[in-house]
Amino acid sequence: MKYRICDYTGLGGNAEVYLDRQGAIPEDAIAEIVEIFDNGCDWHSEKDYIAFGIEPTYQFDKLYIFYVKRNIEDSFILRGKAWGAYGTNVVKTIKKFSDYKYKSKLVKAITRIHHYYFEEKEIVNN
């Protein structure tokens, strides 16, 4: 939602937008993402990675973005909190895929999304 606030209204100044709903996502991956984020989320996908999650839109909102890359070991989760108005001045931390325990729900979800996204499947534009 942050890209809509920054691009359409001009609020938020030059705040960095991570997820702009650009790119295509396979239907199976969408089902996995919906399981993780009940209230919906934004995404950005390119040839070598897919990013999805929630960006801060207002002060004190949380940043929670999954980056699933072609090489799954390079995947990571970006977390943070916005301290400025309209989601600016975000303090971020990065936790790599390899830092999580193998049997955690998060690792299993990222593994399934990696399987769906980087395999030859029909891609749906949303």
As a whole number of angstroms, the distance between CA 65 and CA 94 comes to 10
Regarding pTM above 0.75, the answer is yes
Q: State pLDDT tens for residues 45-88.
A: 888 898 988 888 888 989 989 899 988 889 998 999 989 887 78
Work out the average pLDDT over 12-32: 74
Q: State pLDDT tens for residues 37-56.
A: 776 788 888 888 989 888 88
86 closest CA partner among 3, 29, 28: 3
What is the DSSP pairing of strand 123-124 with strand 90-96?
unpaired
As a whole number of angstroms, the distance between CA 12 and CA 60 comes to 14
C-alpha distances in angstroms, 110 versus 32, 77, 105, 122?
A: 9, 10, 9, 19
